[in-house]
Structure 1
């Protein structure tokens, strides 16, 4: 049966647009007839070719325009319709999403609270996939969120939805343990990098290995800096100060907000979770919103901003204090996020993607300091776990990667800004 809607029939043609199109076509035909009214019509006119045979040329041009217009209409008619702009979840759906997110053991589930996500639900309503559309790529952020027994159903529902619009299903930053779900869809896999997680039970400021952290903490304490955890209900009172810090940070870094896989400054989003701030007696110097996973499995941060005038080491101080706080609160892991393109094979027989990714990792300092990010996270002695991209096999990969970059960077121009 036919289940794809044609794109021509879904175009937002207004009555005014249709009227002026018909007027233009009618005027074109009338001018042609008026200009050559003195030329009697005969079938031979279609086949007269000469420098001064203006009437036959006009007839052929008019007919060619009509044929081209009809051919374009048929072409559009056979194309699948683009997806309609998704409406924001209503309050009931938002409550369902938040309840599942807060129970999820993966802290990255909090990305579902950003307003740039669409959702596909499992049949029983116990799991969802958050995604966004860029070009022909429908990009899901991570593995499904919710009851694991509902994952297979929601993954197939997402796959069927992509097929309805003749789009490519893409799963970004999925874990090694879930690759079987995507193998059943016939997708291929590409390693994206590695995620860093610190086991908090073993985190300590004792010993030579933690000397730099200990010195940084002591220095900040002497300057009167301290970390505070602001509950979600009190965050709105801090938003003006946080926004000023965020704007200064973006300006000094010559950066722009990223999206989709990273949080950005959005007042409604930041007001939904606790925020860690570094401050002195007068003002806030740095902040980060907190992702607190279900079952105290994982603690992580998302939007990290600091005042450029606060001095060197303030973010190290914030991380150290959060890890100590998380250990005291009983959290098992502190998630430092992914180091893109790290851990890719450089061997001659490695897949082409890994060799190209490794080359970018080593020589892309002008656009993004991949090695610097990896080394920064490494100093916390984390455990590294691979993260993958699942997508259709074949020629689509370059386009999918371009769609992914554009989605995260807010356009291709943003890909060349840090």
Structure 2
């Protein structure tokens, strides 16, 4: 692998190209400079591109056919960052410029610089797949081909509909976990009982409530997540209290919803928002339709749901709660998909849809697969949502063969 850094001076608001500017960073990874370009759009929102260590199976496989550009999507990594301090100072209106539509318009300007205007192939993982479908909607002329792994969005589904489809999948993941690790039923109930009776804080100062403990269920969507949750529950107590080791481990596992990546928390529900209608803390509202998550017989862990208490209970994030509320109450959003254009699509597209995906609902993905013209889908139960990363290149190889 050979690496090169690229930085691009781009408009914050693409509809006002003479206004405020931001920097967008991308890392080029090359084995053969004669190969065509592949743009990688990773998961999120709010996470930078992966930092290669040299043993990533999917990347090694990609380099056999492509030069790869790893994009730090606007607001992340070495691009002009949106930290919690920036988010608080700039407010909700500023953050509306950090969604998939803006990321795609960034990519088109980057493409002109990198390829000289030639179309490239895009690989979108998870939220990167959402961005890829936005790309197919608004700038298909920039694409030679598109590959999507665990990221076909429900193009006509709002945030509430997405969560309504996901809660039953999360419940099923819980049932599978407890079937594999029956001792965890009592262990999880014991921790929840302890948390109801006492005020417990993590080393960061964040309150560890029952709801926060339940959000450890986000682990269950990965290949080894059930095992990791089980090991976490093996010995959570030190005498009458929760052990330091347990609290430190919980802190690490809950870092996905922390001050390190405020865009993820603030814009997660907005990734589903387009046209009229507020997201209005959809995950919290829809949870009321699934009362099993409020009991402990057994205690059900939740998944990739963003709740308002995640900000209120964290002293680092609490100042962002008014910004989050303003985003949740926003009555109108820019469009993310053009269904008519997707139906008329002529770009070769292949997509992996994982049968028990806990983050992007299978049924919504399969429905979208019928909308995008010419899309070929690989519907598989052999991998989880993290299949691209953990399959040592097998998932990407399969899609490239289909392509």
Fold match by TM threshold 0.5: no
Higher Rg of the two aligned structures: 1
Greater fraction strand: 1
TM-score relative to the length of structure 1: 0.31
